[in-house]
């Protein structure tokens, strides 16, 4: 029977592999001046490696913090397997395309690339669905009569990660971000770019549970109210960023 430690080992080992891959890719990128749409060919693989490592580490931490019945622990292992298999597919394909100097996303130049682009979309949804699955296990297999504010933060954060990142991912899939380097490090643009909203969607996994943890630790009896307020502001920020980006996208981009 699998245990919590088995799931944690899988996720932590995988995150370490991604970090090593990130370091090696960064070193190699220093000698490769090729670009795709004005951005270095290795920038996207590095961003996905970093995000994948953080995603895996965060999931491991949330599993460790969750107080569930022993019979629920095997689910944690299979959730870890789902995360590793789906995210590795994305990182591997993006890195392969980068090495070839070709785009991974929005590349439908032939049947093979069109199929791979569609598979990446399916895999991305499956990856974020792992968080909804984890939320369900924690919610239904809680070892206490009611969820604490911290546990509520974990459940809400995982659900929002699935919902917000999936919705913004579909929007991002239908409209490519503007070309060029954009903001430092992240590469976002101020107008017509869904990626800032998508970032908040994906990283609800970290921010919302942190709100619950901090509220429970510092706010005492007002913890639930503080957590709810912070979460609403976060959700509002995500919605505003999405609407701002959509308004800046030409109408022809929406309707072909």
Domain locations in the chain? 1-132, 146-256
Among 31-35, 173-177, 193-197, whose mean pLDDT is lowest? 173-177
Instruction: Report the C-alpha gap between 51 and 46 in whole angstroms.
Output: 9
Instruction: Report the C-alpha gap between 50 and 209 in whole angstroms.
Output: 20
Residue 85 — very low, low, confident or very high, per pLDDT cuts 50/70/90?
very high
Nearest Cα residue to 255 out of 200, 174, 181, 192: 174
**Structure letter (DSSP) for residue 194:** -
Among 19-28, 117-126, 150-159, 240-249, whose mean pLDDT is lowest? 240-249
Average pLDDT along the chain: 87
User: Per-residue pLDDT averaged across 164-173, rounded?
Assistant: 83
Strand, helix or coil for residue 68:
strand
Residue 93 tokens read as 């394909």
Residue 204 — very low, low, confident or very high, per pLDDT cuts 50/70/90?
very high
Q: Is the pLDDT of residue 183 over 90?
A: no
Instruction: Report the C-alpha gap between 180 and 188 in whole angstroms.
Output: 9
Who has greater pLDDT, 128 or 190?
A: 128
Instruction: Report the C-alpha gap between 227 and 215 in whole angstroms.
Output: 6
How many alpha carbons fall within 13 Å on the CB side of residue 126?
A: 19
What confidence tens digit (pLDDT) does each residue in 210-220 have?
999 999 999 98
Instruction: Report the C-alpha gap between 126 and 83 in whole angstroms.
Output: 8
Q: Is the pLDDT of residue 151 over 70?
A: yes
Q: Report pLDDT for 250.
A: 54
Q: Report pLDDT for 247.
A: 73
Give percent above pLDDT 70 in the chain.
Answer: 88
What are the E-state strand segments in the chain? 35-36, 39-40
Q: Is the pLDDT of residue 110 over 60?
A: yes
Among 13-17, 66-70, 161-165, 198-202, whose mean pLDDT is lowest? 66-70
Who has greater pLDDT, 50 or 251?
A: 50
Contact 196, 188 (CB under 8 A): yes
Among 2-6, 96-100, 132-136, whose mean pLDDT is lowest? 2-6
Which residue bears the tokens 């990130």? Answer: 22
Instruction: Report the C-alpha gap between 38 and 15 in whole angstroms.
Output: 29
Residue 187 — very low, low, confident or very high, per pLDDT cuts 50/70/90?
low
Instruction: Report the C-alpha gap between 69 and 20 in whole angstroms.
Output: 35
Q: Does pTM top 0.85 for this prediction?
A: yes
Helix, strand, coil share of the chain (percent; to 5): 75, 0, 20
Q: Report pLDDT for 4.
A: 77
Instruction: Report the C-alpha gap between 46 and 39 in whole angstroms.
Output: 12
Who has greater pLDDT, 249 or 146?
A: 146
């Amino acid at each position: 029977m699998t245990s919590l430690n088995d799931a944690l080992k899988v996720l932590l080992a995988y995150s370490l592999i991604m970090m090593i891959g990130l370091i090696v890719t960064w070193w190699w990128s220093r000698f490769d001046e090729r670009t795709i749409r004005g951005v270095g060919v290795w920038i996207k693989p590095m961003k996905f490696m970093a995000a994948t490592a953080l995603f895996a580490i965060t999931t491991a931490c949330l599993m460790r913090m969750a107080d569930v019945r022993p019979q629920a622990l095997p689910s944690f292992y299979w959730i870890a397997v789902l995360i590793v298999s789906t995210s590795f597919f994305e990182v591997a394909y993006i890195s392969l395309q980068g090495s070839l100097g070709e785009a991974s996303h929005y590349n439908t130049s032939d049947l093979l690339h069109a199929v791979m682009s569609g598979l990446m979309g399916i895999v991305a949804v499956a990856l974020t669905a792992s968080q909804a699955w984890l939320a369900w296990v924690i919610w239904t297999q809680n070892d206490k009569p009611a969820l604490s504010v911290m546990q509520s933060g974990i459940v809400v954060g995982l659900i929002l990660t699935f919902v917000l990142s999936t919705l913004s991912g579909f929007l991002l899939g239908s409209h490519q971000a503007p070309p060029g380097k954009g903001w430092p490090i992240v590469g976002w643009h101020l107008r017509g770019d869904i990626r800032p909203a998508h970032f908040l969607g994906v990283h609800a996994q970290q921010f919302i549970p942190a709100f619950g943890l901090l509220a429970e630790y510092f706010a005492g009896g007002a913890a639930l109210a503080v957590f709810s307020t912070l979460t609403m502001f976060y959700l509002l920020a995500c919605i505003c960023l999405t609407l701002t980006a959509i308004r800046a996208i030409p109408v022809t981009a929406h309707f072909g």
